[in-house]
Structure 1
Amino acid sequence: MKITVIFVQLIYSMLSIEKTDKIKMELRQLKYFIKAAELQNFTEAAKKLLITQSTLSQQIKQIEDELGILLFERTGKRLFITEAGLEFLPFAKQTVENAQKGIQRIRDLQGIKTGTLKIGITYSLSFGLSNIIQQFLKKYPDIHLEVVNNTAHDLQQMLVQHEIDFALSLKLPNMNPNIEMTTLFEVPLCAVVNDIHPFANATKISVKEVAKQTVILPSKGLSARSCIDDIMEESGTYIKPHLEINDVNILLQIIENSPYVTILAQTTIERRKKLRAIPIIEQKKNLTAALLTLKGEYQKAAAKAFMEIYKEEFFLHNLVN
C-alpha cells in the first residue's frame, strides 16, 4: 500500500509539473540520477561522472524539486534511494536509452563517422583481435571503441544491462532468454602443452593421460571450464588441478615456460608459437563461438562493420561458417 501511495504521489507530481509547463529536466541530470542510484553514494557517483560532489547534489536536488518528491534519503554519511526513487529509476533509464538509440540512428543515416562502440569478448575468441581493432580504427578513425574482456556469463549480464553493444562469446548451457545468439563457428577443446613437452608431437590424447600430469585449469565460471567438467564426467576421470586461474593469458604464460598441461579452446593458443594443441579423444562435441545481441534491439552500423572485419579475419583461418 505504501509503495502504491508513493507511486501515485510521484505520477501526480509529474502531471502537475506538465500542466504548469515548468519541467526542465535534462538527459544529463537523468544520467546523474541513474549513477547515484546504482552506487547509492554521491562521492563515488561524482567520481564516475567526472563532476564534483556538490554539482551532483545540486543536480539531484533540481530533479527532486521538479518532481516534488525526495528520490534519496540522506542519513549522516549514508545515502538510500527512496521508494519513489526506485519507481522513477526504470523510467529514467528507458528515457536515456531511447535518446541514445535515436542519436545512433541519426548517426547511422549520416554514415559511420562518429560515436561509441562497446564490445565484450571472451579470451577464447580474442585471437587476432589486435589486428581486427587496428583495421577497424584505420577505417573508422572517429569511432570511439571500447573493448571489454570478460567471462561468457558476465558478458551476458553486461549485454542485458546495456553496458556493451554486443558480445563475442562461447555459448553457455543456460543462455539468457533476452539474448539472441548467432553461431559463428565451432571450436574444439584441446590439451595444451609447450613445444618441448613429451606430448608436444602427439596427435591425440585421453583425459586419463592428462590426469597423470601436473595440470592447470581455467577457474570455474569460465565457459571452457564448464566443458572440461562435462568431459571429465562423461569419461569418468577426475582431473585434480594443481592450480586454477581466471586469467587465461597468465595461464598460457605459465604453460609456455613449464612442463604443465592445461585444457582450453583451440583458438586460445593461435599465434602462440611455443604452444601445441592436442585433440582430446573423449570430446564428443565442440564449443560454439557466437555473436550475442539483445533481442529486438537496433544494431549500430559500427557494430555491423566491426563484425564484418572480425568474420574476415576468422574466415582466413577457415573458422567462420
Structure 2
Amino acid sequence: MIDKLEFLIAVAKEKSFSRAAEICGVTQPTLSAGVKQLEDSLGVLLVNRSSRFHGLTAEGERVLEWAKRIVGDARAMRQEVRTLKEGLTGQLKIAVIPTALGIVSALTAPYREKHPGVRFSVISASSSEVLTMLDNLEIDAGITYLDNEPLGRVRTVPLCSERYRLLTFADNPLGNRDRVTWGEVGRIDLCLLTPDMQNRRIVEQLIRKGGSEPVPILESNDVILLFDHVRSGRWATVLPEKLAKTLNVAAPLRSIPIVEPEAVHEIGLVAPQREPVIPLVAALVSEAKKLADSHTLDG
C-alpha cells in the first residue's frame, strides 16, 4: 500500500505518469497499475485521465493529503527503527532561501560533530518552493522567512532577524554615505533577486514605501552573481546584513545600512508538523533551538 501511495504523490507532483514513474524508479505501466490498484481498493476514481494526466478528482485530492501523512509516518518509523539499531545515520535534505545560505553552516557543523553518520543535501530555493517541497516530502526541513507570507501548517524555530544593507562601490552614487533611505536606494542602478524570491518582494515593498519605483537593470536567483556584478564597480544591490558579512564585504566595496522605513524580518527553520518527529529532523530542530538561544546569528 505504501508504494502505491508514493506513486500517487509523485503523479500529483509531476502531473505526468511518465515523469512520476521515472522519479519512483519504476516503469510507467507499473506505476499506472499501482494507482489503479489503489483506486480499486478504495472504490473511487483518484486521477482524471485518458492517455494523459488531467488532474486529481476531489476524492484524489483528499486521498493525497492522507497519502502524505501515511508515507511521512512510514518513513519516520523506518528511520526511528534504524536509529535505534545504528544511531543517527542517513541523508538530511534541507532547502534554503538564497539570502539565508550563510547561516546553514551554523547548523550543519555542530550537527555533524554530534552525528558523524549523517550526510547533508542543501539546495537553494524560493520561499514558496521550500514550502512546496516540504509538503511533497521532497525535503526534511527548510530555512525561510517566518513572518512575511503565510507558512501553512509547519513547525517553526526562529533563528535570526534579517536587516538590510546597500552594497556598492565607495565612489558610486550613495557610496559615501553612512546610511541611506529606501527611497534613495530605489533611484540608483540596482541588480536584485528575481520576482519569485520573497526577498525581492520585500525589497520592492520597502522601496515603494520610500516613495520610489524599483526598476532593476539585472535580475538573478543567485546572490553570488549579484555580488559579482556589484564588484564590477558599476551597480549596487540590496542584501541582508548577515549575508553581507558572510561575503566579507571590504573596501572599496561598502555595506551601508538602509533606514526609513526601518525593516526587520524573521528567518527560521521550518519542519513538518508531524508526531512523532523523524529522528534526523528532531536533531536538527534541537540544534536550531540551541543556535537561536545563543543569539550568535544576530551578533
Query: What TM-score range do you get, normalising by the shorter chain?
Result: 0.7 to 0.9
> How far 1:149 moved relative to its partner?
1.5
Q: For residues 180 and 161 of structure 1, what CA distance do their matches in structure 2 show?
A: 15
Name the amino acid aligned to 1:292: V
Is the aligned partner of 1:46 residue 2:21?
yes
Q: Which residue of 1 aligns with 2:201?
A: 226
Q: How does 1:128-139 map to 2 (within 5 A)?
A: 128-129=103-104, 133=108, 136-137=111-112, 139=114
User: Is the contact made by 1:123 and 1:150 (CA closer than 8 Å) also made in structure 2?
Assistant: yes
* Letter of the structure 2 residue corresponding to residue 166 of structure 1: A
Unmatched runs of 5 consecutive residues or more in structure 1: 1-25
The equivalent of 2:180 in structure 1 is 205
Deviation at 1:189, TM superposition (A): 0.7
Q: In the alignment, what sits opposite 1:192?
A: 167
Which moved further from structure 2: 45-54 or 218-227? 218-227
Matched, 1:265 2:259: no
Contact map agreement 2:9 2:136 (CA 8 A) in 1: no
Secondary structure at the residue paired with 1:118? Answer: strand
Does the CA contact (< 8 Å) of 1:152 and 1:171 recur in 2?
no
Separation in 1, partners of 2:157, 2:59: 40
Q: Determine helix, strand or coil for the equivalent of 2:76.
A: helix
- 1:47 is displaced (CA, Å) by 1.0
- In 2, Cα distance between equivalents of 1:218 and 1:200: 21
Secondary structure of 1:183's aligned partner: strand
The superposition leaves residues 283-302 of structure 1 with CA deviations (integer Å, 9 ceiling, x where unpaired) of 42322222223445443342
Please state if 1:78 is matched with 2:75.
no
Give the equivalent residue in structure 2 for 1:280.
Answer: 258
Which of 1 and 2 has higher RCO (CA within 8 Å, sep 6+)?
2
Query: Would you say the 8 A contact 2:157–2:289 is kept in 1?
Result: no
Q: Is the CA contact 1:314–1:320 (under 8 Å) kept in the aligned structure 2?
A: no
When residues 45 and 158 of structure 1 are mapped into structure 2, their CA distance, relative to the original with a 3 A threshold, is closer
Question: 1:223 and 1:171, CA in 2 relative to 1: closer, same or farther beyond 3 A?
Answer: farther
In 1, are the aligned partners of 2:162 and 2:242 still within 8 Å (CA)?
A: yes
Q: Structure 2 matches for 1:26-175, cutoff 5 A?
A: 26-63=1-38, 66=41, 71=46, 75=50, 77-80=51-54, 85-86=60-61, 88-109=63-84, 112-129=87-104, 133=108, 136-137=111-112, 139-175=114-150
Q: Distance in 2 between matches of 1:72 and 1:60?
A: 8
Bigger drift between 95-104 and 298-307 goes to: 298-307
**Which deviates the most, 296-305 or 209-218?**
296-305
Shift of 1:45: 1.4
Q: CA, structure 1 residues 131+253, in 2 after alignment: closer, same or farther (shift >3 Å)?
A: farther
Partner-residue secondary structure (3-state), 2:297: coil
Alpha carbons of structure 1 residues 66 and 291: separation in structure 2 relative to 1, 3 Å? closer
In the alignment, structure 2 segments of 5+ residues that lack a partner are none
Distance 1:296 1:41, change over 3 A: closer
Contact 1:220 1:226 in 2 (8 A): yes
Q: Percent identity?
A: 25
Distance of 2:66 and 2:233 partners within structure 1? 54
Higher-Rg structure is: 1
For these two proteins, the number of residue pairs brought into alignment is 295
TM-score, normalised to structure 2, is 0.78
